[in-house]
């Protein structure tokens, strides 16, 4: 096996980690409650565009980071080959299923920022905060989208010195993101969410068990 310094110098791996961390920091700061509230206050009536703009910034910066990772020098470590393609296909199928079920369980118009624009255009009064939703996939796992992201990061590509670094940072981002989201939900829903969290696993369903509705 080639030495690490032959094709992926430590400087390149450090830059890869820094770019991944920078994307994570930007993504997290822009959605942090205090910073989001401050920015919306500064934007005034234009705050209705905040969620849509946030998603666009996150997407563009993620694509930029991935292009940087793709161009970085790297060394192959391990390939999905032979019979290993079967568990890889299973992981990708599970990721797709979790992502789809998560999309069915969440209000995607609000997540994308489209409902905020529609309500402002039509003069509709925003609906009150929804009650805690535990139906569908949310009766099996609390964070289906985070779980889908973790599985996708594991199975989407062969492993190299460079992508092991940025994959590790992104998995850590998903774990920390889920933890921060839990804190928000506990503040909003209190004991109801605490009880739900005790009964339903965070990322992956328990075999032969479903939380009753």
Domain assignment present for 207: no
Q: 82 in a domain, yes or no?
A: yes
Range of the domain at 101: 4-199
145 falls in which pLDDT band (50, 70, 90)?
very high
Q: Is the pLDDT of residue 47 over 60?
A: yes
CB–CB of 162/11 below 8 Å? Answer: no
Residue 32 in any domain: the answer is yes
Q: What does the pLDDT average to over 124-146?
A: 80
For the stretch 175-200, pLDDT in tens is: 988 988 898 888 888 889 999 999 99
Average pLDDT over residues 66-70: 90
pLDDT tens digit sequence for 69-113: 988 888 899 999 999 999 999 999 999 999 999 988 877 677 766
Domain annotation covers residue 83:
yes
How close are the terminal C-alpha atoms of the chain, in Å? Answer: 53
Q: Does residue 186 fall inside a structural domain?
A: yes
Does some domain include residue 206? no
For residue 4, the model assigns a pLDDT of: 44
Q: Please count the structural domains in the chain.
A: 1
Q: Is the pTM of this model over 0.85?
A: no
Contacts of residue 182, defined as CB under 8 A and 6 or more positions apart, other chains included, come to 142, 193, 197, 202
Does 92 fall in a domain? yes
Query: Would 205 be classed as within a structural domain?
Result: no
């Amino acid at each position: 096996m080639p030495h690490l310094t032959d094709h992926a110098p430590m400087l390149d791996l450090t830059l890869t980690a820094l770019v991944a961390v920078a994307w994570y920091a930007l993504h997290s700061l822009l959605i942090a409650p205090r910073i989001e509230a401050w920015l919306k206050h500064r934007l005034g009536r234009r705050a209705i565009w905040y969620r849509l703009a946030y998603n666009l910034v996150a997407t563009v910066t993620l694509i930029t980071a991935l292009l940087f990772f793709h161009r970085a020098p790297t060394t192959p470590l391990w390939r999905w080959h032979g019979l290993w393609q079967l568990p890889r296909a299973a992981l990708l199928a599970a990721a797709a299923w979790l992502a789809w079920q998560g999309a069915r369980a969440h209000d995607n118009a609000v997540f994308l920022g489209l409902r905020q624009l529609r309500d402002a255009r039509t003069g509709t009064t925003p609906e009150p905060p929804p009650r805690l939703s535990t139906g569908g996939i949310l009766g099996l796992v609390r964070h289906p989208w985070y779980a889908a992201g973790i599985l996708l990061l594991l199975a989407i590509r062969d492993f190299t010195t460079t992508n092991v670094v940025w994959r590790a940072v992104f998995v850590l981002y998903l774990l920390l993101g889920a933890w921060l989201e839990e804190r928000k939900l506990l503040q909003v829903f209190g004991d109801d969410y605490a009880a739900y969290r005790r009964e339903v696993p965070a990322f992956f369903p328990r075999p032969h068990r479903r939380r009753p509705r």
